[in-house]
Amino acid sequence: MRYDLNLLPVFLALMEERSVTRAAERLGITQPALSNALTRLRALLQDPLFIRERYGMQPTPKAEELAPAIAEALATLDGLVRGQQAFDPASAQGLVTIAPNSYVEYVLVPALVARLRALAPGIRLRLTPYGADLAETGVVSGATAMVFGRITDPPANLVVQHLMDDGLACVVRADHPEVGARITRRQYERLKHVNMLPPGRLRAGLFQKLERVQLKREVAVSVTHFLAIPELVAVTDYCATLPRQICRRLANDARLKVLPAPVDLGSFPVQMAWHVRYRDDPAHRWLRELVAEVAKELAQGAAG
C-alpha cells in the first residue's frame, strides 16, 4: 500500500498540540494545508482521529491507540536520516523546542541563548512548560528536543545527563530590622517565609530538606515563579530560601541581601534528558554539548 509519510508528522503534531492553529505553526504550514492533510489522514486510517471540542481537538480512541506506534516509527526514520547529516552551527536554521523547569529557565536559558546567538544565530528556541509529568512536555514522544530540571523516574526511552548541582541560601531585604550579616536558626524559625512552588512531585523538595534537619519554617505566601520573590522580599520582613544560582542574581539588587542558610540544606541536581532517537543526531549532540558547557561555566562561577 502506498501512502504519504508527510501525513504522519501532522498526526503527531495534532496529538501534541490539540489545536490546528498551533500544529500548523509548529510544522510551518498554513491552517488550510493542515486541515487538508487531516482529511487525507482520516481517509487513510478510516477514523475521524480528532474531534473538535470546546477546549481543542480531542483524539479518538483509535488515535490514542495509534500514537505510540507512529511516534516510534517516525523516531526510527528520523534518527537514521539525521545520523547521516553533517551539522554546521554557523549556517544552521531551525526551531528547537525545549522544556526547562522555572529554575533552569531563570538560571541557564539566558546564557544558552546568548551562546546560540554568537555560534548558531539561525537556531531559535521555543520553551514549553515542564509540568508535573514528563509526558506532558513532549520529550517522551521526541516532539520536544530536551527537558531540563530534576528528572525523576524517566522512562526507558529517555537518556538522562547530569549537568550540575546547586545548593540553597537565604534572601532578606537589605535593611531587615532583625537580620544582620548572618541569619541564625532561631531567627529563621521566627520569620515568615516566601515559598517557591515547583511543579508536580518536586513540590516536596525543600520541605523534606527542612524536615530532615528539623528546621521549622512558617510560610506566609507561596508563588509560582522566581521573579515574584525579590519584589515580595524587598517590601516585607519575609525570608526566602532559594537556590544559590538564583541568589547570585538577586545579590545585585541593592534592596536585598543574600545570606548562608542557618544549617546545611544540602544540594540538588540539575539534569537534562532527551529521547533516544536524538542520540546520534549531529545537531542535537552539538546543542547538548553546548548546554553542558554553559552549565559547567555556571557551576564554576558559583564555586569561584
Query: For the segment 152-189, what is each residue's pLDDT rounded down to a tens digit?
Result: 888 888 999 999 999 999 999 999 999 999 999 999 99
Place of cell 498554513: 30
Helices (H), 92-133: 102-107, 109-119
pLDDT grade for 82, boundaries at 50, 70 and 90: low
Cα(186)–Cα(191) distance, rounded to whole angstroms? 9
Report strand pairing: 158-173 vs 239-243. antiparallel
Is pLDDT of 279 > 60?
A: yes
91-107 pLDDT per residue, tens: 999 889 999 998 999 99
Closest CA to 229 of 252, 214, 258, 250: 250
**Average pLDDT of the chain to the nearest whole number:** 88
pLDDT in tens, 24-66: 888 888 999 999 999 999 999 999 999 988 878 899 999 999 9
The more confident residue out of 22 and 98 is: 98
A 10 A CB-CB count for 178 gives: 12
Say which CATH architecture domain 94-156+272-303 belongs to: 3-Layer(aba) Sandwich (3.40)
Q: Look up the pTM and report it.
A: 0.72
CATH superfamily assigned to domain 165-268: Periplasmic binding protein-like II (3.40.190.10)
pLDDT tens track for 183-239: 999 999 999 999 988 654 444 577 788 888 899 999 999 998 888 999 999 999 999
Beta bridge partners of 269: 165
Specify the pLDDT at position 200: 47
Per-residue model confidence (pLDDT) at position 91: 93
Residue 70 vs residues 43, 45, 94, 103: alpha-carbon distances, Å: 16, 12, 23, 33
Q: Helices 61-82 and 7-17 meet at what angle, rounded to 10?
A: 120
Q: Which residues pair with 120 in a beta bridge?
A: none
Long-range pairs for 40-43: beta carbons < 8 A, 24 or more residues apart? 40/4, 40/7, 41/7, 41/10, 41/11
- Architecture of the domain delimited by 7-82: Orthogonal Bundle (1.10)
Nearest-angstrom CA–CA distance, 148 and 111: 14
Residues paired with 192 in a beta bridge:
218
- What is the per-residue pLDDT for 81? 65
Domain(s) labelled CATH 1.10.10.10 in the chain stretch across 7-82
Nearest residue to 18 (alpha-carbon basis) of 51, 44, 46: 51
Q: Is the pLDDT of residue 71 over 90?
A: no
CATH 3.40.190.10 intervals, the chain: 94-156+272-303, 165-268
